[in-house]
Structure formats: structure tokens, C-alpha cells
Structure 1
Amino acid sequence: MGSAYTTIAADAIARFQRLLDKRVVFITGTDEHGEKIATSAEACGRNPKDHCDTISNSYKMLWDDLDIEYDKFIRTTDPRHEAIVNDFYSRVLDSGDIYRADYEGLYCVSCEEYKDEKELAENKCCPVHLKPCVPRKEDNYFFALSKYQHQLEDLLTKNPNFVRPSHRLNEVQGWVKSGLRDFSISRASVEWGIPVPNDTKQTIYVWFDALLGYISALLDDGEKASLQQAVERGWPASLHLIGKDILRFHAVYWPAMLMSAGISVPDAVFGHGFLTKDGMKMGKSLGNTLEPKDLVNRFGADAVRYFFLREVEFGNDGDYSEERFINIVNAHLANTIGNLLNRTLGLLKKNCKSTLAFDSIAAADGISLKDNIENLVDKAKGQFENLLLSSACETLMEIGNLGNLYIDEQAPWSCFKQGGESAEKAAKDLVIILETMRIIAIALSPITPSLSLRIYTQLGFTEDQFRTLRWEDTKWGGLKAGQVMMEPKPVFARIETETDEKDQPSSKATKGGKKKAKSHGLVEA
């Protein structure tokens, strides 16, 4: 679930930037070398390449299920990537920053990293994976990280936004100030990897290899593998989005490596937190892992995306509980958004033949709701820009709440019955609510793209029109007089819970019955 959370967040950020009409290259992919992969492949009875093919394809299918629209999917077993790694290695070697030496220490296979004893947990266990580190002694090639001590200190001091959020910056500064040690960038005991240039008995350390995927991914299909060409295609990256467990590699090792090769560092590295389930750390040994594929199959991509981006304050740790998931999704997406749209379209069909009698600007003349919504849209934009994804979701729900409050106060169903000017006002009120829904659909589309599409097409627009929307289209005034709405259909089905009767003595629900969640009647785009 951790990888899914990272990629959902990255997709939301990319979608928002596209709404701003920015050129976006959203890169994801799979790191496919190293001892951990080789061991996992052997356990599955496959060779490493076939094993990586299987895993890579499973990620691509999962990203499709989660409505993730990446631009580049890099696999580090791609021959072009290997050529880029070799080119980069040569640059660093020419800078005098690679040397050969013996190394002896404690090694975490899962992290694929040597650990200092002072950072280990009890019984010499890795603090991340809680597995014992193994003693290892090898003749390796090293990168002179210590040479870049002062340059990294300057980077972090002069550019505090290089590492976000701020408490992650404090962690990185602490690592650097404690003194940097050169690190091994090759493995003599690992066969599954890119061979070290001019020394085929060693393979390049997986992190020295994998980080370069951000650059090699910039090459177009069929393009000659050239490090300089790849850099010119769009480097430096505006943002690296990662889990906090790999922050050291991205915020310390990676910028130093780039400095050595004469390449610009990325603009920012954002380290998000961990996810827990019911307040507990997840793990296979605990039997409480959370499979994103299962969540999507049960609840749909919009629900999964919304819950994690809304409930987890971006940058901090977050928790999943099914009860909380269902309550949040039902309250926000089914009730605040879905029910408001459905009942408004129902009233329009009954009283106006599903046709708008006024354009939205004329309908909202002198109505304070319009100004309030425009202010909230501006607020949400700023929150998206500052990666405050949870806050942006809250702000957009405020718009939905204002819409619900407005329709309840104005009671257009009663006004239509009165006829005359009251009925005319009611027709205007429906336009106001539907314009509010149009704005929500656009502004929420980075978070719930399929739900936004369903809303937008019910408002009488085409999918092609939806695909060309920009943030500026959230400006009030998109709905015009005479526009015909589509037949009202639920855009988001409420998740229902039912008593599992399998183990009950009768068909009636009993107090101790287990609850099983189901989502019914979701209208697919």
C-alpha cells in the first residue's frame, strides 16, 4: 500500500499541474536489480528477469486500476538505463570520486545498505525492517561522499525547501552534520545487477543504479542512450516524491552523486510518512497487510484515492481503518457530492425538462454564495500548489457543504409549487447548484478523476471537453442557458454494510454479527 499511496499522491500533483497548463513529465517505475530481487525471484522459482517482468506488469495494472496517468514508466533492466548508468559512473570516476577499498560491517538485505551499529534496533536489527543485519566483508568500490560534506550543508542551508516537509529537513541536516562517510557503490557478492565498468566481477550498488532512473526515463522510445541527451530532455526534476524510509538516499547520496557528475540537483525532495492499519504497523507476519488491489475491487479507485489523500496529512504518518474509510467516503463523496448532484438534477428534470433556464452568471447575480465559492477555489489552488492535499480536499468539501446548505435554505421544491416568481427563482437556484457542482468536478479532478468525469458528463458536457479543462475553467460562468443535463444517475454509490449471516443461527441480524462492506450501483464513466 505504501507504493500505491506514493503514486496516488504523485498522480494528484501531476494532474493539478496539468490543470495549470504546465508541461508535466510524471515518472514512475520499478527498481529491478540487487540481492533482494534475486533472492525473491529464487523463492518464487523464477529467474530474476522473468520475476521483474511479472512484478513490473502487476504494478502497471495496479496503476491503471487506480486511475494513475503516468508519462514514463522506467524499468532499471532497460538496456538504455544501463548505458546511462555506465556513462554516469564514468563521469564520477573522472571526478576522482570513486576508489577501491575493503569494507566490513553489518548489512540489511531488505534495505540493501550497510548500517552503523548506533542506528540499529535491539539484537542488531534494522530499525526499518526489524530483521537482523548480517556481518559482511567485501572488496568494493566506494563513492567519496565525505568530499561533499560542505556542499550538502550549503545546499540545505541556502535552500531549505530542498527537503520537505520541514521536519524531514531537520532529519537530513542531522545526518549531514553528524559527518558523512563514503559509501560502497558496488557488490562483489551480487550477480544480479549492472556490471561495474572494467570490472565484471562486481555489480553496481542498486541505489547508485536506481536513482538514475529519474534521468534515463526522460529519453524517448528509440532514442540513443546518452546521459547528456537525457539531462537536456527535462532535468532537473521539480519534485521527487518518496517514502521517508528512503529519504537518505534521495536527499544525501543522490545530490552528492549529481554534484560529482556535474549535473544539477532536483528542486525538491518530499518525504511522506508511513501508513498503519487500525493503529498498528502492517506486516505479513502480523497478517494485517493492506492490498490496494483489494480495496479498489471493493470500493473503486475514487474512494481509495480520496480517503488516503484526504485522511493522511501529506508528509505525516497516517492510519487506515475500514470503519473510518467507509464513514469518510460515504459522508463526503456519496452524500455531500453525489446526493447533492442527484437531487438537483432530479428537480431540474421534474420542473424544467432537464434544461437550464438561465446561464450561471445571471442566476447568481447578487448571490453571496458565488463569491464564497470563488474564494474557496482560490484557497484550494494555493493548497494544491503547496502540496497540502488533505487541506485541499477539506476546502473542496466546504464548497459542497455550502451547496447543500444553500439548496436546503432556498427549498426550490417548494418554490416550484408556488409558481410565478418563486418558480423562476427556484430555476435560478438549480443553476447555481449545478454550477457549483461543475466547479467541484474540475477542482476535485486531481483527487477523484473518474468521479469528476461522471459529474461533468451529467452536466451535459462531453468526455473530450472534460479532458481539455484547465484550472481557469473553475471561474464561475461555465453553464449556459439552454444547456441540457443528462438523465440523473448516482455518480457515487454509498458503501453499504450488511450483517454476515453465515455463522448466525437465524436469518435475523444479531448483535455480534460481523459487518461486510459492499458498494452497489456505481455508475462507471
Structure 2
Amino acid sequence: MPDVDSSSLPAGAAAPSGTAFYLTTPIYYVNDAPHIGHAYTTVAADVVTRWHRQRQEDVWFLTGTDEHGQKVLRTAEANGVSPQEWADRLVEAEWKPVLRTIDALNDDFIRTTQERHTTRVQAFISDLHDKGEIYAGSYEGPYCVGCEEYKLPGDLLDGTGEYEGEKVCPIHGKPVEMLAEQNYFFRMSAYAERLLALYEEHPEFVQPASARNEVIGFVKQGLQDLSISRSTFDWGVPIPWDDKHVLYVWFDALLNYMTAVGYGSDDPAEQERFARTWPASVHLVGKDILRFHAVIWPAMLMAAGLPLPTTVFAHGWLLVGGEKMSKSKLTGIAPAQITDHFGSDAFRYYFMRAIAFGGDGSFSWEDISSRYQAELANGFGNLASRVTAMIGKNFGGSLPAAGAATDAEVALEAVAAKAVADAEAAIDRLAIHEAISAVWTLVDATNLYLTEQEPWKVAKLPGETDAEGAGVPGGRLATILVTAAEALRSLAVLLHPVMPQATGKLWDALGAEATLGALGAQPVAGAASFGALPAGTVVTKGASLFPRLEDPTV
């Protein structure tokens, strides 16, 4: 594996980078089943990585589960099983199936109880210990089991109601516990200045800007050395030089981003993968775990002399009734509750478009129902049905040759070109909502184009049909319908990362598979220009992409 001395690099972030676009989700705790807050992050990761694949890039997309720590241990005990049994059950019955529910196309699924992870974690911390970055000490302070984190007094809130007189975690709303332990510590305080230099010299490292400002403010208050072991329970990665301690769950979990792609492996294939993928391009995280990823993680890598990821992007929370999505507060909604009614494409579209990625957003059944009807069924779905039906009716389902383009056709193609350019730029900012909005300008423009060009009236004009009533190739009607079909082809390519099932059906309806190849292999840039579908391509109407639905019962 590469051994890069980060002390010789500007703030540690300018190290040689891998050639792949490598994106990760957080690894999710297995103390409970996934809710739509977890699925939101994973869908965002999937949309971005699918988009990069359609740029013809080498892509690696990692997700997985965090299975150690006190929270998982207590949940397993409460359910009368060992923590390993609990993790195995949840991963196979809940966490892996939800990836299929939301159509995630991940390349790997890491579990922190896998040997490939635990042995490499032990090698990493042994190296830090040998370098003098870890020392023995004692610590006492308030600890939130939900966060798996010691809290500073200023982080806590005064409890109310049943927790009156107690200090509670602001994220979980439950009392913290006072813990006193003999621990091993990581010399994190030594990296405060280098971290501040990193944020200054590489503002892209923490995004969005509000998250970066929060992290800078936190580090400027001063960093303490980090307690990285626990001796009061044994569910964790054993400390190699002291088996009475297990590694702090976050120090264990953060390393998954490297262990999963081959860090520390003797296998040449895994060594090649690590060289190709590391450092990661993007870590997608929820804002509640930002400090772990933007402070602890880069300090760990600096201490090890390894290159840092390019970007840690912290998105906001999904809110239900004004509160963060939470199983413990009974606001957790399983993804299948939505996909069983609306389908996975509508789930993906709604959460990626309705919420500005990077900020908080509220979910409501009324809003998703309204957007499904107006934007998907009436907007995009009806457009596809109208165009394919008119080609079937007027040209027997065979795409005709177009005639000369007018200003209207040139203008619509210009909308497609601008949509591609604007969406590309938005994806690079991880502004997924803006990318979809940019693409949707082509949906609206194509609907308007048909309204203004009135092909149903053009079909009745002299010279537009032959003696049998079939449309004439090269006529005005043919030009309108070919242009509309090209707009649909562009939309299928651009919306495929967001709605893979519906766009796959549209691709089939346009007959594009036979003439242009698989939809997932189409370059994004190719969606900017019309004229790809050859005359004679077989076009079929097919079933509605987004059938009308009854109001959901919830």
C-alpha cells in the first residue's frame, strides 16, 4: 500500500490521488432497522455515482454497517442474543434488502465485524502506537451511548419532563452517563493547527460552507486528546497490545473507508484497488457525525502519514413533525412504506429533488403525493406516453426521418444542451436537487414545444399523410415527433441516475437499446445533442411510466 508522509504535504490534502471516483456513505449502526433517513443518504450516493459512471469514469461506491460499540451491545442484550447474532440478523434481514428496495448499485458492502476489517484496523492502531501517537491515561466525563461519544459540558442540554434535573444529548434527547475509565488516548490535540491549515488551504475538504464554518469554530476552541479504548465492555476490536481493552467504536468505524478498498492487504489485487481508489473522492455523512469525519478522521490519517479524502460532505436531517427522523422517537419510517405505494423511482426522485441537498428537509405524505401526480405522472410520464403514442398512430411505430429544423427545434435542442451543462456543474457541487431541476427544464420545454407545435393538428394538414392516412417522412409532423423523441432520449440518459426503472422502460419504448446500446452506458454529454436515434427505430407506447395512484393510507 502507498506510504505517504503527510508531513511533507500542504496540510496533508495534496497527496497523490487515486484514479477512481470513490464515494462512501457512512456505515450505519445495526442497533435497529433502516429508516428513510438512512435511505436518503444512500440514494444520494447512488445518484452521484451512477452519474459519474455515465461520464465513463472508473467508480467505486461503498456502503455498509457499523457493528461494534456499546449501543449495539445493549440492543443485542435487550433482545436476548449475542451482538454478533444480532448484527448478522439485522444485516441480512434489513440492511442488505433495503439496498434492493431503493435500487442502490453499490460496489461493496463492508461490515466492521469482518476479518478483512478488524485485522487491518489492528495493524493501523499498532502503527500509531509504535509511532508514539497513542498513550495510556484515564478519563472521566459525560458519555452519550447513542452517539458513542464523550460530550463536552457545553454540548449538553438541560432535561425536561421525565429527564428534569439531568443533562441530555441534544441529538438523542436522552440523559448522558458519567463514565470514568482507564483508557488509551490518541494525541489528537497535536493536530489542531494542521487541521485549521487544511480547512483554510482546502475549503473543498468540508462542504457545504456552513459545515466547514462549524468545524473551524469547533477546532479553534481547542482539541483534547481522544479516548480511543474501552475496558468496561468487550464488544469491539481488541487492542493488540492490551486485550483488556477494545477500540473505541468510531476509531474502528472510520477506518472502514480504507480497509474495504484494500488498505493493509497482502493481496496484489486489493493493493491495486487501494492505489486506484484512495484517497476517497467524497464521504457523504449526516451533519450529526460531521466532527468525527472532519476532525478525528483527518487527524488519524495525518498521524499515519496517509493522504486525506478530497471532500467530506455533510447533508442535513430529514424531519418528520419538525423532529429528526428517529426510531426511538417513533418518527422512523421504513423505506418500503413509501416504495410499496409510490415505487422506488418516485422515492428517489422525491427525496433528491424536494430537499436542497446539504440542508434539513421535511417529509410529508401530502407533498410526495402531490409531486408524484404533478411532476412524474402528468409531467414526465404523460410526455412519454403522448410522444410514443403519436409515433405509433401516425408512423406505425417506426421513427420517421425528420425534415428541416425550424427555430423551434433548434431552441429545444439548446434547452437540452443547457440542461446537461447546468446539471453537470450541479453534480460536481453535490447539489443534486439543482441537477434534477436543470434536467426538468427539458421536461417542461418539451411539453411546451408539443403544445405550441400542435402535432395533432399538423397531422390533418395537406401533405402530412399519405393516401392511407400514414404520416409522411420528412414532413413537419415527422420533424416534430422525431424532435420530441430525441428530447425523451436525452431525458432517459439524464434521469437514469435518479430513476433507473422508469428511464429503463422509456429507453425500451424508444427502441434505443437495439440501436444505441445499454442505457447505463450512455455518456451524459451525449444527451446535449439531438439526432442519435436513426430513422426506422421501432417505438412502442408501453405501460405508463407513472400510473395514477390512489391517495396512500398511512
TM-score for both structures, normalised by structure 2: 0.86
Asked whether the 8 Å contact 1:215–1:230 carries over to 2, the reply is no
Provide the residue aligned with 2:478 in structure 1: 427
Cα displacement (A) at 1:297 = 1.3
Q: Distance in 2 between the 1:28 and 1:121 partners?
A: 33
CA contact (8 A) 2:415 2:441 kept: no
Hey, what's the Cα distance between the residues in 1 that align with 2:532 and 2:406?
12
Name the Cα RMSD after superposition. 2.2
**Residue 28 (structure 2) aligns with:** none
In terms of mean alpha carbon deviation, does 385-394 or 130-139 score higher?
A: 385-394
Counterpart in the other structure of 2:526: 473
Once residues 429 and 170 of structure 1 are traced to their aligned partners in structure 2, the CA distance between those partners, rounded to angstroms, is: 51
Matched, 1:490 2:490: no
Amino acid at match of 2:115: P
SS at match of 1:14: helix
Q: Deviations over 1:179-206 (max 9, x none)?
A: 0000100000121111001211110000
1:33 aligns with 2:68: yes
- 1:46 is aligned to 81
- Determine which of 203, 207, 219 is the counterpart of 1:164: 207
Identity of aligned residues (%): 40
SS at structure 2 position matched to 1:25: strand
- SS, match of residue 110 in structure 2: strand
Partner of 1:101: 137
Structure 2 match to 1:511 = none
Q: Distance in 2 between matches of 1:467 and 1:291?
A: 28
Residue type of the alignment partner of 1:81:
H
Matched, 1:7 2:77: no
Give the equivalent residue in structure 1 for 2:106: 70
Question: Does structure 1 residue 372 correspond to structure 2 residue 415?
Answer: yes
SS of residue paired to 1:434: helix
Distance in 1 separating the partners of 2:521 and 2:145: 47
Query: Residue 241 of structure 1 contacts residue 269 of structure 1 at CA under 8 Å; is this kept in 2?
Result: yes
C-alpha contact 2:507 2:519 (8 A) present in aligned 1: yes
Residues in 2 aligned to 1:101 and 1:226: alpha-carbon distance in whole angstroms: 40
Are the aligned partners of 1:360 and 1:432 in contact in 2 as well (CA < 8 Å)?
no
Instruction: Measure, in 2, the Cα distance between the counterparts of 1:287 and 1:177.
Output: 37
Report the Cα distance in structure 2 between the residues aligned to 1:283 and 1:21, rounded to whole angstroms. Answer: 38
Q: Show structure 1 runs of 5+ residues with no match.
A: 498-514, 518-525
Aligned match of 1:402: 445
Among 441, 445, 450, the residue aligned to 2:496: 445
Partner of 2:16: none
Q: Structure 1, residues 378-430: CA drift from partner, whole Å, max 9, x if none? A: 11111112111111111111110101111011111111122315862112111
Aligned partner of residue 251 in structure 1, secondary structure? helix
| Residue equivalent to 2:33 | none
1:136 partner SS: strand
Tell me if the contact between 1:244 and 1:273 (Cα under 8 Å) persists in the aligned partners.
yes
**Residue 180, structure 1, aligned to residue 223, structure 2:** yes
Q: Give the 3-state SS of the residue equivalent to 2:262 in structure 1.
A: coil
Q: What is the match of residue 454 of structure 1? A: 505
Q: 2:381 touches 2:546 (CA, 8 Å); kept in 1?
A: yes
Asked if 1 retains the 8 angstrom alpha-carbon contact of 2:389 and 2:540, the reply is no
Q: Which residue of 1 aligns with 2:425?
A: 382
What does residue range 92-241 of structure 1 map to in structure 2 within 5 Å? Answer: 92-122=128-158, 123-219=166-262, 224=267, 231-241=274-284
Partner of 2:10: none
CA shift in 2, pair 1:193/1:307, >3 Å: same
Kindly tell me: are residues 225 and 175 of structure 1, through their superposed partners in 2, closer, same or farther at Cα, counting changes over 3 Å? farther
Whole-Å separation in 2 of the counterparts to 1:12 and 1:366: 30
Does the 8 A contact of 2:144 with 2:175 survive in 1?
yes
Q: Given residue 76 of structure 1, which amino acid in structure 2 is its aligned partner?
A: T
Spell out, residue by residue over 1:115-166, the C-alpha distance to the aligned partner (whole angstroms, 9 max, x if none).
Answer: 1111101131011111100111000000000011111011011111100000
Partner of 2:25: none
CA contact (8 A) 1:336 1:397 kept: no
Cα distance between partner residues in 2 of 1:473 and 1:380:
13
Q: Is contact 2:203-2:212 (8 Å) kept? A: yes
CA positional deviation for 1:280: 3.8
Residues 427 and 84 from structure 1, CA distance in 2 versus in 1: closer, same or farther, beyond 3 angstroms? same
Looking at structure 2, the residues matched to 11 and 437 of structure 1 have their Cα atoms a distance apart, in angstroms, of 22
2:550 match: secondary structure: strand
Distance in 1, matches of 2:288 and 2:445, equals 40
1:333 to 347, 372, 376: 376
Please state how far the C-alpha of 1:495 moved relative to its aligned partner.
2.7
Deviation digits for residues 320-372 of structure 1 (CA, Å, limit 9, x no counterpart):
01111111122111111110110111111111101111159968896322122
Farther off after superposition, 391-400 or 267-276: 391-400
1:473 is displaced (CA, Å) by 2.4
Aligned residues of 2:409 and 2:483 also touching (Cα < 8 A): no
The answer as to whether partners of 1:360 and 1:479 remain within 8 angstroms in 2 is no
**Any unmatched runs of 5+ in structure 2?**
1-35, 159-165, 466-470
Q: Give 2:302's aligned amino acid.
A: M
For 1:33, give the aligned amino acid. Answer: H
Q: Of residues 327, 335, 346 in structure 2, which corresponds to 1:303?
A: 346
Report the Cα distance in structure 1 between the residues aligned to 2:243 and 2:268, rounded to whole angstroms: 21
Post-superposition shift, 1:286?
Answer: 4.6
Instruction: Tell whether the 8 Å contact from 2:511 to 2:537 is kept in structure 1 after alignment.
Output: yes
Count of paired positions: 500
- Answering whether residue 123 of structure 2 is matched by residue 87 of structure 1, we say yes
Within the candidate set 308, 316, 334, 1:291 is matched to: 334
**In structure 2, how many angstroms separate the alpha carbons of the residues matched to 1:166 and 1:361?**
49
State whether residues 87 and 227 of structure 1, in contact with CA within 8 Å, keep that contact through their aligned partners in structure 2. Answer: no
Q: Which has the higher contact order (CA 8 A, sep 6+)?
A: 2
Cα 1:89–1:483 shift into 2, 3 Å: same
CA distance in 1, matches of 2:70, 2:541: 56
What amino acid maps onto 1:45 in structure 2?
A: G
Aligned partners of 1:316 and 1:9: how far apart in 2? Answer: 13
Shift of 1:483: 0.9
In structure 1, C-alpha distance between the alignment counterparts of 2:303 and 2:106, rounded to whole Å: 30
Identify the match of residue 388 of structure 2 among 331, 345, 349.
Answer: 345
Please give the secondary structure, in 2, of the residue aligned with 1:419: coil
Structure 1 residue 285 displacement after superposition: 5.4
Separation in structure 2 between the aligned mates of residue 36 and residue 141 of structure 1, nearest angstrom: 20
Question: Secondary structure at 2:356's aligned position in 1?
Answer: coil
> 1:516 corresponds to which residue?
553
Structure-1-length-normalised TM-score: 0.91
Query: Counterparts of 1:496-511 in structure 2 under 5 Å?
Result: 496-497=550-551
- 1:425-451: CA deviations, max 9, x gaps? 112111111110110110111111111
Rounded Cα–Cα distance in structure 2 between residues aligned with 1:360 and 1:180 = 69
- 1:275, CA displacement in angstroms? 0.5
Please say which of residues 189-198 and 485-494 is displaced more in the overlay.
485-494
